[in-house]
Amino acid sequence: MLVSMTRIPQSVAIPRTSRPPKLLLWAVAVIVAICSSGFAADRLAMEAMVQATFQGRSVEGAPICWNNDEVNLLGRDGRLWQLDPRQVSAFKQTAAQFHPYSPSEFRAALLRELGGDYEVSGTGHYLVAHPRGQRDRWAERFEDLYRSFVHYFSVRGLQPAMPRFPLVGIVCKDRAEFERRMAVKPTLRNFDRGYASSRAVVEGYYRIDTNRIDLYDMGGGPDSRNWQTNASVLIHEATHQTAFNTGIHSRCSVPPRWLTEGLAMVFEAPGVYDSRNHTQLADRINHERLQTFRQSLASRHRPETLAALIASDDLFRADPLAAYAEAWTVSFFLVENEPARYVKYLKRTAARPPFTPYPATERTADFTTIFGADWRMLHARLLRFVATLP
Per the model's pLDDT, the better-predicted residue between 236 and 225 turns out to be 236
Question: Are both 215 and 328 inside the same structural domain?
Answer: no
116, part of any domain: yes
- 44 SS3 class: helix
Question: Are both 168 and 78 inside the same structural domain?
Answer: no
Question: Are both 20 and 50 inside the same structural domain?
Answer: yes
- Local structure of residue 35 (DSSP, 8 states): G
pLDDT tier, 227 (very low <50, low <70, confident <90, very high otherwise): low
Question: Are both 73 and 16 inside the same structural domain?
Answer: yes
Question: Are both 217 and 320 inside the same structural domain?
Answer: no
Residue range 4-29: average pLDDT? 34
Give yes or no for a contact between 214 and 172, defined as CB atoms under 8 angstroms apart: yes
Alpha helices in 186-319 (DSSP H): 225-245, 257-266, 270-273, 287-292, 303-311, 314-318
Indicate the pTM of the whole model: 0.86
Burial category of 340 from C-beta neighbours within 10 Å (exposed 0-12, middle 13-18, buried 19 and up): exposed
Give yes or no for a contact between 80 and 211, defined as CB atoms under 8 angstroms apart: yes
Domain residues for 185?
A: 101-248
Per the model's pLDDT, the better-predicted residue between 358 and 229 turns out to be 358
Which pLDDT score is estimated for 34?
A: 34
| pLDDT(62) > 70 | yes
Q: What residues contact 326, with CB distance under 8 A and at least 6 apart?
A: 258, 293, 297, 301, 305, 309, 315
pLDDT digits (tens, 9 = 90+) for 121-166: 998 899 999 988 877 778 888 999 999 999 999 999 999 999 988 9
Amino acid at 266: V
Residue range 249-261: average pLDDT? 94
Number of domains in the chain: 3
Q: 65 forms bridges with which residues in the sheet?
A: 72
pLDDT digits (tens, 9 = 90+) for 361-387: 999 999 999 999 999 999 999 999 999
1, part of any domain: no
Phi then psi dihedrals of residue 164, to 5 deg:
-75, -25
pLDDT digits (tens, 9 = 90+) for 33-42: 333 333 443 3
Which pLDDT score is estimated for 84?
A: 83
Question: Are both 234 and 332 inside the same structural domain?
Answer: no
Residue range 29-51: average pLDDT? 48
Question: Are both 159 and 289 inside the same structural domain?
Answer: no
Question: Are both 117 and 234 inside the same structural domain?
Answer: yes
Closest CA to 138 of 206, 214, 210: 214
Q: 129 forms bridges with which residues in the sheet?
A: 120, 170
Give yes or no for a contact between 370 and 344, defined as CB atoms under 8 angstroms apart: yes
Last residue of a domain, one of 95, 122, 152: 95
Amino acid at 288: E
Alpha helices in the chain (DSSP H): 22-26, 41-44, 103-114, 135-154, 175-182, 225-245, 257-266, 270-273, 287-292, 303-311, 314-318, 320-337, 339-350, 360-371, 375-388
Lowest-confidence pick of 2-16, 271-285, 338-352: 2-16
Instruction: Tell whether the torsion through CA atoms of 312, 313, 318 and 319 is positive or negative.
Output: positive
Lowest-confidence pick of 51-55, 171-175, 262-266: 51-55
Distance CA 271, CA 274 (A): 6
Which pLDDT score is estimated for 197?
A: 58
Work out the angle between the directed axes of helices 257-266 and 320-337 (0-180°, nearest 10): 70
Which contiguous run of DSSP H or E holds residue 53?
strand 49-54
309, part of any domain: yes
- CATH number of residue 157's parent domain: 3.40.30
Which pLDDT score is estimated for 14?
A: 30
Neighbours of 245 (CB within 10 A): 24
Closest CA to 207 of 246, 172, 181, 232: 181
Give yes or no for a contact between 271 and 278, defined as CB atoms under 8 angstroms apart: yes
Question: Are both 239 and 347 inside the same structural domain?
Answer: no
256, part of any domain: no
Last residue of a domain, one of 95, 128, 161: 95
Question: Are both 237 and 107 inside the same structural domain?
Answer: yes
Question: Are both 234 and 271 inside the same structural domain?
Answer: no
- Mind spelling out the 3-state secondary structure of 258-295? HHHHHHHHHCCCHHHHCCCCCCCHHHHCCHHHHHHHHH
255, part of any domain: no
Tally helices (H) and strands (E) across the chain: 15, 12
291, part of any domain: yes
| pLDDT(241) > 50 | yes
pLDDT tier, 32 (very low <50, low <70, confident <90, very high otherwise): very low
- CATH number of residue 36's parent domain: 2.30.30.100
Distance CA 306, CA 375 (A): 8
pLDDT digits (tens, 9 = 90+) for 290-306: 999 999 888 889 999 99
Which pLDDT score is estimated for 299?
A: 87
Distance CA 119, CA 128 (A): 8
| pLDDT(56) > 90 | no
Instruction: Tell whether the torsion through CA atoms of 252, 150, 263 and 194 is positive or negative.
Output: negative
| pLDDT(21) > 60 | no
Which pLDDT score is estimated for 194?
A: 62
Per the model's pLDDT, the better-predicted residue between 89 and 242 turns out to be 242
Question: Are both 313 and 243 inside the same structural domain?
Answer: no
Phi then psi dihedrals of residue 91, to 5 deg:
-120, 145
227, part of any domain: yes
2, part of any domain: no
pLDDT digits (tens, 9 = 90+) for 163-219: 988 999 999 988 999 999 888 887 776 555 566 555 556 788 999 999 999 998 876
Distance CA 114, CA 93 (A): 29
Last residue of a domain, one of 95, 122, 141: 95
Distance CA 62, CA 98 (A): 6
Which pLDDT score is estimated for 16?
A: 33
